[in-house]
Amino acid sequence: MSATAAGTSTALRTPAPLIWPERDIHSLTSVDLDPQLPKDVEALLPQLRQLAALGDALRALQTLDGSFVHEAHARTLAEWSAKLMEEIADSGAVSEAQRDMLRRRAAALAELRHDTAISHDEAALTTPQNLTVIAGPMCTFRNKTRTPLHSVVACTAHEQGDRLIAALDASSGAVLQEVNGYCGTPDVTVGGIFAMQVTDLIAMGGESNAFPKHFAYFLPEDEGAGYGEVFNKTILFRNVYGLRYEHISKPLGNALLKGYRPNPSVDVRNVLITWMRGHDIAHAVTTPRVGRVEPQDVGHEPWYALQEAIADAYGSAMAFTDTWLELAGCSLDDMVAVYLAEALHYLRRHPRNWGDAGAASVELSFLATHGAIDVHPDGTISWDTERVVEGVHRLCTTLERDVVSAPESAAVQRVLDTYGWREDSVLAPTLRKIREELGGVPTSLAYL
């Protein structure tokens, strides 16, 4: 976090926007997080909410480069925040390891100092935590700023969710081999599986509380500390993920998808977590023929979109297996329906704005081009489970050959030219309907 004083220049300095992209259609809805809290954590709610509110105020003083429009005010807010973090550290709700990190974070925050060593130590703390509190610089979207801005995140471990992750991880090797059999990619392996912790979000402030929000953070990367040489972990907010689906993805799916509707008795949060774990694992897929194409060869955002598409494709294929469907507690029809609704959620953010939306465009365009889904002139989409599953397997085969193992950039560029976003894309009617007729569906959530 920059400690540049505003008083050193007479130039007008503008606080960073809270909504990104600013020039777009936005609709917000407020939701109750309703976290499942241990009693000792519940007793800390006043401090946690105050810390989040101070985080909002401190972030409101920051510009896009991380500096402050008024450093004296920023230091006062940071010192108040640090005192609250010390109070939380002194409680019995945090582990010894987390207590040490809280005190180190408090010291760094009081000095407006970005200590990336703490971020790496947080990533190395892979055991579930009764209470996790992160207060300091964090990144959201690269196109908004590459500089971490002040954030506050407080969450608590969710035991059932962590048991689900453990079961998924234990079977992931066999499941990937099963996927390889379907896709004809026998030597696809995973370079490494990083930890994923399932939590309930308690409070959020600062940049993390700006719009649109994340349902997960990837550490130490999202703390602006690069990748860990040994330890990286994902913190996933189970309650946020479920609420996001209920208020955004599900309404889009109901309006646009002509096909099976997920069984209402299924806990969709377990379906989402299962899909997300596959996505997380599949970010590390590789082959002995792994290509030498780099982001600069085809453009950073297009390359990033393809990396997300690879993770989506192989992760979805893993989630479509009987083993993982049983762990998720749903049918194949349920999983495919949720996957398509989530893809529409990302598509609505527009493929030119960021990689996740670009990935959704590549996936849905591929499925439409190869007859796995039917996009109608009114923007609605007809589908059936068998065709979508076959289409995802075919997508895995194509992305492995032409992107993961691409011998030259021309192969990667062909994928982008064929399935990447164009104004005449087969998905144009769908995106137009989403952004014009379905503008009332929220684009992000506000937390009560």
**HEC letters along the chain:** CCCCCHHHCCCCCCCCCCECCCCCCCCEEEECCCCCCCHHHHCCHHHHHHHHHHHHHHHCCECCCCCECCHHHHHHHHHHHHHHHHHHHCCCCCCHHHHHHHHHHHHHHHCCCCCHHHHHHHHHCCCCCCCEEEEEEECCCCCCCCCCEEEEEEEEECHHHHHHHHHHHHHHHHHHHHHHHHHCCCCCEECCCCEEEEEEEEEEEEHHHCECCCCEEEECHHHCCCCCCCCCEEEEEHHHHHHHHHHHHHHHHHHHEECCCCCCCCCHHHHHHHHHHHHHHHCCEECCCCCCCCHHHHCHHHHHHHHHHHHHHHHHHHHCCHHHHHHHCCCHHHHHHHHHHHHHHHHCCCCCCCHHHHHHHHHHHHHHHCCCEEECCCCCEEECHHHHHHHHHHHHHHHHHHHHCCCCHHHHHHHHHHHCCCCCCCCHHHHHHHHHHCCCCCCEEEEC
CB distance 65 to 147 below 8 Å: yes
Residue 21 pLDDT > 50, yes or no? yes
pLDDT score for 10 = 47
pTM of the model: 0.95
Asked whether residue 39 carries a pLDDT value surpassing 60, the answer given is yes
Does 184 map to a domain? yes
pLDDT at residue number 2:
40
Expressed as residue numbers, the domain containing 179 is 165-193+240-447
pLDDT beyond 60 at 5: no
Mean pLDDT (the chain) is 94
pLDDT of 8 reads 44
Residue 78 lies in a domain: no
Q: What is the pLDDT of residue 79?
A: 98
For residue range 50-88, what is the model confidence (pLDDT) as tens digits?
999 999 999 999 999 999 999 999 999 999 999 999 999
For residue 7, pLDDT over 80 is answered with: no
- Phi and psi (nearest 5°) for 390? -60, -40
Q: How do residues 205-216 score in pLDDT, each as one tens digit?
A: 999 999 999 999
Asked whether residue 278 is assigned to any structural domain, the reply reads yes
d(CA 368, CA 383): 10
What was the pLDDT predicted at 61? 97
Tokens of 187: 């030597």
Q: What pLDDT score was predicted for residue 448?
A: 85
**Confidence class of residue 9 from pLDDT cuts 50, 70 and 90?**
very low
Whether residue 222 lies inside any domain: the answer is no
247 occurs within a structural domain:
yes
Query: Looking at the domain assignment, is residue 63 inside a domain?
Result: no
How many domains in the chain? 1
- What percent of the chain is modeled with pLDDT above 90? 85
* Ranges 19-28, 154-163, 299-308, 313-322: which has the least confidence: 19-28
Do the domain assignments include residue 310? yes
Reading phi first (left if > 0) and then psi (alpha if -120 to 50, else beta), residue 148 is in beta
Residue 307 has pLDDT above 90, yes or no: yes
Q: How far is CA 180 from CA 281, 317, 336, 443, in A?
A: 14, 9, 19, 36
Asked whether residue 1 carries a pLDDT value surpassing 60, the answer given is no
- 242 pLDDT exceeds 60? yes
In-domain check, residue 231: no
Identify which has the larger pLDDT, 353 or 405: 405
Distance, CA of 247 to CA of 28 (rounded, Å): 10
Digit-coded pLDDT (tens) for 332-349: 999 999 999 999 999 998
Rounded distance between C-alpha atoms, residue 282 and residue 405, angstroms = 15
Q: What integer is the mean pLDDT of 143-155?
A: 92
